[in-house]
Structure 1
Amino acid sequence: MRAVNRFLVNQKYLLILFLGVAIFASLQSYFGAMKSFVEGGRLYTTYNNYIIFKQSFFHLIESKDLYDPFVEEQGDLFKYSPAFALVFGVLAILPDVLGLSLWNILNAAVLFYSVYYLPRLDVRTKGLILVFVIVELLTSVQNEQSNALIAGLFLFTFGFLERGKYWLASFCLVSTIFIKLFGIVGLALFLLYPNKFKLTYTTAAWAILFTALPLLVVNVDQFLFLYKSWANLLANDHSISDGLSVIGWLKTWFKLDVNKTYVSLAGAILFCFPLLRIKQYGNFTFRMLVLASIMIWVVIFNHRAESPTFIIAITGVALWYYGQKQKPENYVLLVLAFVFTALSPTDLFPRFIRNEWMKPYVVKAVPCILIWAKITYDLLFANLSPRIEKSVEG
């Protein structure tokens, strides 16, 4: 037990673990065999997502439509903002093995340091959070996704808000929006803090800057065309799938063919109810649980949520559990999340169970849905208090 505690409080060891996961996943993808995404289809690299990000930069500077299929180069569409495509040029010009590795290291490092930047949590608790999310981190970086980066930016937003550093907080939050649009839900955090005028103009300033960035390499007509094309892609993307989400859960478990817009609207209303408890805004635990609620919400109400997206939700789960006083029912839900959300896509579950049960019945999402419901209830009705940390000598 003492050895475990020494590991949890040793930032150096945990950093090595995180960087090791990122480098391992990068090399595994880089040296992996070519694969197709449909039976008998064209073969692409194992690190196809990185290729999509990389090629978006070259498509941007060549004044092409970023949101065309480009089937000869990549196995899926680019769905991020034109600003993301420009910024990714820093990595795109590097050899793939180096750019891919640095991309995954960036994701892991931002998440790692954002946890340590969380206020009012002791070092051991931060170690527990990092260890809890490590499996989901591996899933995310094995798919070269940006989700660990987004999770880290959410945490940094919270950390900067708590310290009154509003320019940096709004920078981090606006960054999430220009990576994946669902980051806009994080704006709800701003309601919890004073000086909302400053939060408004700092957010507006960063949003204008990020929007205008592509003008560095394209003309005005192409600039306007790209944003129209992005908007069109996002609008048409809404009906494609149900994802590992509340929508998928309702359909597979209860055979309810419900309108996605109505489900998202209901989720938004439920999310907003706790924000009516204005007197609780001064409670740090309340504010942290609102952050946890946001991080889970953007995944479980995302009809395009995939397994690698859940690093955002599982980080929210860790904040929820380790950021407040321990309760037996919360511990049960935490274990369910670790087993069925974090571990269910891994080889610890036989392939036939994953293919016949876990994926079709969106089991990965269910613990997060239950925990989000518990968070919402607690934010509405519970007297929230901070975590009571055990002695490191254990």
Structure 2
Amino acid sequence: MQAINRFLTNHQYLLFVYIALAVFASLQSYFGRLDSFVPGGHLYTHYNNYIIFKQSFFHLIHGQDLYAEFIEEQGDLFKYSPTFALVFGILAILPDVVGLTLWNVLNAVVLFYAIEHLPRFTARTKGLILVFVVVELLTAMQNEQSNALIAGLFLLMFGALEKRNYWLASFFLISTIYIKLFGIVALALYLLYPGKLKLTYTTAFWVLLFTLLPLIVVDSGQFVFLYKSWGNLLSNDHSISDGLSVIGWLKSWFGWDGNKTYVSVAGAILFCIPLLRIRQYGDFTFRALFLASVMIWVVIFNHRAESPTFIIAAGGVAIWYYSQKQTTANYVLLVLAFVFTTLAPTDIFPKFVRNEWFKPYVVKAVPCILVWGKIWLDLMFGKLEEREENPVAALQE
């Protein structure tokens, strides 16, 4: 037990693990075989997502439509902002193996330091959170996704809000939005803090800056065209899939095939109702649980949610569990989330179980849906108490 506690409280070891996994995932992708998305289709690298990000920079500076199909170069569409394409140029100009590795290291390190700097969590608890999300982190990095970066930015925003550093908080929030638009949901956290005027003008400053950045390399006509093209892509993206989401769960478990908008609206209303408890805004546990609600909501109500997206939800599950007093019900849900969300896509389960049960019935999403429901109940009716640290473990920190 003492050895485990030393490992959990010595975060240098955990940082080494995070960086080592980033390098491992990068090399695994880089040296992976070429593959196609359809039988007999065009062959793409195993790190296709990184190629999409990389090529977006060159499409931007060459005056092309970022959101068009480039079948000869990449196996999917670019869906992020023009600003993301510009900033990614820092990595795009490097050899693939270097840029890919640095990209995954960035994701891992940002998430690590975001957890490391969480306010009012002990070193041991932070270590537990770092361990809890590490498998999902590896999944995200093996797919060269930006989701670990987004999870880290959400946590950094929360830490900055707690310290009333609104310039940094709004910077982290706007960064998520210009990577993936669903980051806009985290604006709801602003309601929990004083200084609304400062939050408003700091956010407006970063929005203006992030929006205008592409003008460094494109003219005004192309600038307007790109944002219109991005808007068209996002508006036409809603009906493409059900994803590992509430919508996918309702469809696969109950045969529901209604309008997705109704589910999204119902989810949004439920999400907002706890905000009516204004007197609870001064309670740290309430604020932490609302952060957890944001991080899980943006995944389970995202019709395009994939397995690599769940690093964000896993972070929310960890914040929910480790920010309040432990209960048996919460512990059971935590174990379910780890087994059936984090481990479900791995080789721990036989392939036929994953293909015949887990994938068709979106099992990966179900524990997170249950946890989000429990968070909602906690926010609405729960007696919120901060986590009680084991006295012996605390003394060993």
Match of residue 368 from structure 2:
368
Could you tell me which runs of 5 or more consecutive residues in structure 1 were left unpaired when the two chains were aligned: none
Match of residue 221 from structure 1:
221
The amino acid across from 2:116 in the alignment is: Y
1:207-243 Cα deviation digits (max 9, x unpaired): 0100000000000000000000000000111110000
The amino acid across from 2:194 in the alignment is: P
Are residue 320 (structure 1) and residue 359 (structure 2) matched? no
The correspondence of residues 120-199 of structure 1 with structure 2, limited to 5 A, is 120-199=120-199
Match of residue 204 from structure 2:
204
Matched residues in 1 for 2:258 and 2:98: separation?
Answer: 45
Matched residues in 2 for 1:202 and 1:165: separation?
Answer: 10
The correspondence of residues 226-237 of structure 1 with structure 2, limited to 5 A, is 226-237=226-237
Matched residues in 2 for 1:40 and 1:344: separation?
Answer: 29
- TM-superposed CA distance for 1:48, in Å, is 0.2
Matched residues in 1 for 2:284 and 2:258: separation?
Answer: 37
Instruction: Say which is worse superposed, 285-294 or 253-262, in terms of deviation.
Output: 253-262
1:70-113 Cα deviation digits (max 9, x unpaired): 00000000000000000000000000000000000000000000
The share of aligned pairs that are identical, in percent, is 74
Could you tell me which runs of 5 or more consecutive residues in structure 2 were left unpaired when the two chains were aligned: none
Match of residue 355 from structure 1:
355
Matched residues in 1 for 2:80 and 2:88: separation?
Answer: 11
Match of residue 296 from structure 2:
296
Matched residues in 1 for 2:109 and 2:357: separation?
Answer: 34
Is this contact kept in 2: 1:247–1:258, CA < 8 A? no
Match of residue 17 from structure 2:
17
Matched residues in 2 for 1:318 and 1:258: separation?
Answer: 32
Match of residue 279 from structure 2:
279
Stretches of 4+ aligned residues off by more than 3 angstroms: none
Matched residues in 2 for 1:80 and 1:7: separation?
Answer: 38
The amino acid across from 1:256 in the alignment is: W
Matched residues in 2 for 1:33 and 1:350: separation?
Answer: 23
The secondary structure found in structure 2 opposite 1:179 is coil
The amino acid across from 2:362 in the alignment is: V
The secondary structure found in structure 1 opposite 2:178 is helix
Are residue 71 (structure 1) and residue 71 (structure 2) matched? yes
The amino acid across from 1:75 in the alignment is: G
Matched residues in 2 for 1:170 and 1:46: separation?
Answer: 35
1:95-134 Cα deviation digits (max 9, x unpaired): 0000000000000000000001110010000000000000
Matched residues in 1 for 2:106 and 2:260: separation?
Answer: 34
1:280-325 Cα deviation digits (max 9, x unpaired): 0000000000000000000000000000000000000000001110
The correspondence of residues 87-106 of structure 1 with structure 2, limited to 5 A, is 87-106=87-106
Match of residue 330 from structure 2:
330
- TM-superposed CA distance for 1:38, in Å, is 1.4
1:313-349 Cα deviation digits (max 9, x unpaired): 0000000001110000000000000000000000111
The amino acid across from 1:305 in the alignment is: A
Is this contact kept in 2: 1:36–1:42, CA < 8 A? yes
What is the TM-score normalised by the length of structure 2?
A: 0.99
- TM-superposed CA distance for 1:258, in Å, is 2.0
The amino acid across from 2:23 in the alignment is: I
Tell me the C-alpha RMSD between the 2 structures.
0.7
The secondary structure found in structure 2 opposite 1:364 is coil
Is this contact kept in 2: 1:274–1:379, CA < 8 A? yes
The secondary structure found in structure 1 opposite 2:352 is helix
What is the TM-score normalised by the length of structure 1?
A: 0.99
The correspondence of residues 52-67 of structure 1 with structure 2, limited to 5 A, is 52-67=52-67
The secondary structure found in structure 1 opposite 2:133 is helix
Are residue 260 (structure 1) and residue 263 (structure 2) matched? no
Q: How many residues align?
A: 394
Is this contact kept in 2: 1:56–1:85, CA < 8 A? yes
Is this contact kept in 2: 1:111–1:153, CA < 8 A? yes
